[in-house]
């Protein structure tokens, strides 16, 4: 069934929220391993002791998350990793699907975009996307907080959509820009 209204899209966000709740445990485990310096491939002789901050970025469409660590100069000191480390593609309905957002949800939203002809299209789609990103970001913040509390590890960490000047400081949940982050490495 194709979404025909804002209510249908709201139901997709409820389904997405439930999906995120279902993967929270595995994702928290991934973050715990990162905070402990496990499962990270370090570059150029770097070690866990060289890591001064973690970066997490996500893609706009599929919400795939990548991670890397930086050293005291703000230079990449680890290989880039995709998170979660193990995706349950069978839950997404297609073993070839690589997006974090389940394919079924993504497809229904895409069908709405392709087929809805009402005058309120932009408003409805904006509301849907605003709520989807709010749910996604809040979920990430919650699992980050849980992983940090479980490990007792406090490190500089930033979360954002890919290729942006602004990021969320995961310790304060405040927006910070690249220039402000760079000052922390001086």
Please spell the DSSP secondary structure of 103-141, one letter per residue: HHHHHHHHHHHHH---TTHHHHHHHHHHHHHHHHHHHHH
pLDDT in tens, 9-43: 899 999 999 999 999 999 999 999 999 999 999 99
Give the per-residue pLDDT at 118. Answer: 84
Residue 69 phi/psi, 5° resolution? -110, 150
Inform me whether the pLDDT recorded for 5 exceeds 90: no
Whole-number Å distance between alpha carbons of 48 and 34: 10
CB atoms within 10 A of CB 104: 16
CB atoms within 10 A of CB 128: 20
**Minimum mean pLDDT among 62-66, 84-88, 89-93: which range?**
89-93
pLDDT in tens, 131-162: 999 999 999 999 999 999 999 999 999 999 99
Q: What percent of the chain has pLDDT over 90?
A: 80
Give the per-residue pLDDT at 116. Answer: 86
Give the per-residue pLDDT at 94. Answer: 62
Q: What percent of the chain has pLDDT over 70?
A: 92
Give the per-residue pLDDT at 77. Answer: 97
Inform me whether the pLDDT recorded for 79 exceeds 80: yes
């Amino acid at each position: 069934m194709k979404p025909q209204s804002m209510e249908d899209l709201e139901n997709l966000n409820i389904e997405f929220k439930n999906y995120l709740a279902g993967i929270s445990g595995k994702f928290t485990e991934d973050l715990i391993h990162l905070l402990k310096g496990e499962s990270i491939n370090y570059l150029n002789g770097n070690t866990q002791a060289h890591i001064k901050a973690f970066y997490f970025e996500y893609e706009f469409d599929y919400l795939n998350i990548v991670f890397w660590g930086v050293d005291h100069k703000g230079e990449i000191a680890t290989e880039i990793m995709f998170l979660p480390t193990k995706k349950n593609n069978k839950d997404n309905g297609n073993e070839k699907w690589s997006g974090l957002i389940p394919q079924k949800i993504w497809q229904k939203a895409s069908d709405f975009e392709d087929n809805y002809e009402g005058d309120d299209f932009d408003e409805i789609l904006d509301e849907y996307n605003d709520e989807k990103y709010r749910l996604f970001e809040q979920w990430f913040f919650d699992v980050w907080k849980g992983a940090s509390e479980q490990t007792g590890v406090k490190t500089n960490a930033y979360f954002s959509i890919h290729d942006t000047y602004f990021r969320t400081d995961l310790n304060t949940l405040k927006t910070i820009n690249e220039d402000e982050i760079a000052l922390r490495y001086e």
